[in-house]
Structure 1
Amino acid sequence: MSSPYLQGEALANAVQAASVKLEATFGAAPSIAVVLGSGWSAASEQLRDVQRLSYADLPGWPLPKVEGHVNEVVVGTTAGGARVAMLRGRAHTYESGDCTGMAAPIRSLKAWGVQVLLSTNASGSLRQQQGPGSLMLISDHINAVQRSPLVGLSGSDRFVDMSCAYDLELRQAARALAQQIDTRLHEGVYCWALGPQFETPAEIRMFAAFGADAVGMSTVPDTILARHAGLRVMGLALITNMAAGLSAEALTHELTLREAKESGERAAGFLSALLDRLCALDSLKKA
């Protein structure tokens, strides 16, 4: 099956053109770019002095059709003055069967000058103490799908070290913030399932035995692409439901979106404060 996304030299050319477009539209790159998953859109609505650019105007960028994804780049400042970029939409592997959909966006961000990719998502919980509305800092992931967006590449850099995929310094900053503002922040392992169907109770029991704390249908390909590009990575999951077999509630996409909407403002508030904290780190200050 041919890929719906650009590959090889065509992708490289698109990345170069997109990075030029980002620079021309927004100026110098902010240190951090956030991929906004389901439930996190309020974060972009809280930004000030906002500029916008449609994915359709960026060569090679996908146009996902998942409900709740707007497909635009937003650059603005948080209430605390941190300048950030936010991507309102991501390509999911279940849309096409191809896990390379975010290659152009992530490589364009790197070429533009972004240093950190902060990936957010909506997830199902595998732990009873981590119920709907909870926030989970991703400490590691399980690629249950065992697909990689790096398949087919050449060169030794495709053998990316994933032993600390989610940056320790950034996670420490998130923990410190949560403690300071008295916010419950869980931390755990995210498991990537392909979807679009939800998992079976047997699959959830297997993932729990593997050591997973939450499950979802995104993030992992983004993390692999970002680490390959040389970006630092951080991940935040908004828990929208208990995973299959852990509650009597039937799992639907509408349920996910409803819970995400109900918890989104609080999640966005934490994210805004976190971005202020991260942008103040010496390791992220622009020269």
Structure 2
Amino acid sequence: MIEKIKQSVQFIQGKINVKPEIGLILGSGLGDLADDVTNAVKIDYRDIPHFPSSTVEGHKGQLVIGELEGKIVCAMQGRFHFYEGYSMQEVTLPVRVMNLLGCESLIVTNACGGMNEQFQPGDLMIITDHINFTGANPLIGANYDELGPRFPDMSHAYTPKLREHACKVAETLHINVQQGVYAAVSGPTYMSAAELIMLRKLGGDVVGMSTVPEVIVARHMNMNVLGISCITDMAIGETIEGITHEEVMEVASKAKPRFIKLVRSLLQEGDNQLWSI
């Protein structure tokens, strides 16, 4: 795995002349933010050694490296999922590559279903914690000490100073944001009513099929992490009506302007010390 990561890093370094500071993982329907990156170098995932290919609608499938609000970012315009048939190590390989390219912080985003009855479709939620219900973990197997410790701590998986910064910026912009716990499942099926009720009773506020593996690996490498969810539908077990991927994309698209405004302002308002380890 170490050799694969290094080969990916070397290939990308041969295409750029900057050192990224902040990694961005842009979820379903939210990838347009990467189009705002200036002096951008765009690299198709298929061209990067050992990168998987994104197979999900709404995921463009390219790495975009350049400047956004005065910060050098490395943005994933589309991500990989466990349910696509990739291993957890393959799903999270880009996070390791971003870190070795220079990124000390990661902003990870997703589209998800809201289980908290106080939420509504179109809300943005700052992730405070997560529950890993995927049935797997990207750190299973041999540990490489040069990447991180055998038993990394996840008690503060989402960096408190970045969560506080996000809430303050959202308030300044008059964007109402929720805060809550992200429950990750493997997918690709949407959850049954009984499963949703269970997840809510166990402490989940939203449910989705991504993010947590990437966050685990980011924290393994001691990166700062900020998680932002876009709630695209309500997943209340007692009243669930069903949802399609097309409907998820439609709501994410409507929330996109507020999401882009928030992330751009987070980068603009945060000094370099905020984003460094």
TM-score by length of 2: 0.92
The question of whether the paired residues in 1 share the 8 Å contact of 2:4 and 2:50 is answered with yes
1:36-47 equivalence runs, <5 A: 36-47=26-37
* Deviating more after overlay: 96-105 vs 228-237: 96-105
Partner of 2:19: 29
Give the direction of change, closer, same or farther, for the CA distance of 1:158–1:146 in structure 2 (3 Å limit).
farther
Secondary structure of the residue aligned to 1:222 is helix
Taking every aligned residue pair, what percent have the same amino acid on both sides?
33
Whole-angstrom distance in 2 between the partners of 1:176 and 1:228: 27
Gaps of 5+ in 1: 1-10
Secondary structure of the residue aligned to 2:161 is helix
Indicate which of 248, 252, 258 corresponds to 1:256.
248
* Deviating more after overlay: 210-219 vs 50-59: 50-59
Whole-angstrom distance in 2 between the partners of 1:211 and 1:50: 40
Aligned length: 274
Indicate which of 273, 278, 284 corresponds to 2:275.
284
Shift of 1:244: 4.8
The question of whether the paired residues in 2 share the 8 Å contact of 1:122 and 1:237 is answered with yes
Give the direction of change, closer, same or farther, for the CA distance of 1:285–1:27 in structure 2 (3 Å limit).
farther
Please tell me the root mean square deviation across aligned C-alpha atoms, in Å.
Answer: 1.9
1:1-287 equivalence runs, <5 A: 11-78=1-68, 80-96=69-85, 98-154=87-143, 157-245=149-237, 247=239, 249-278=241-270, 280-284=271-275
Give the direction of change, closer, same or farther, for the CA distance of 1:155–1:54 in structure 2 (3 Å limit).
closer
Secondary structure of the residue aligned to 1:101 is helix
Shift of 1:140: 0.3
Shift of 1:182: 1.5
The question of whether the paired residues in 2 share the 8 Å contact of 1:28 and 1:113 is answered with no
Q: Which whole-Å deviations, capped at 9, do the CAs of 1:86-128 have from their partners, x for residues lacking one?
A: 1012110111163222332111111111101111000100122
Q: Which whole-Å deviations, capped at 9, do the CAs of 1:160-181 have from their partners, x for residues lacking one?
A: 1000001111111101111212
Q: Which runs of 4+ in 1 moved over 4 A?
A: none
Shift of 1:41: 1.2
Shift of 1:74: 0.7
Give the direction of change, closer, same or farther, for the CA distance of 1:45–1:91 in structure 2 (3 Å limit).
same
Gaps of 5+ in 2: none
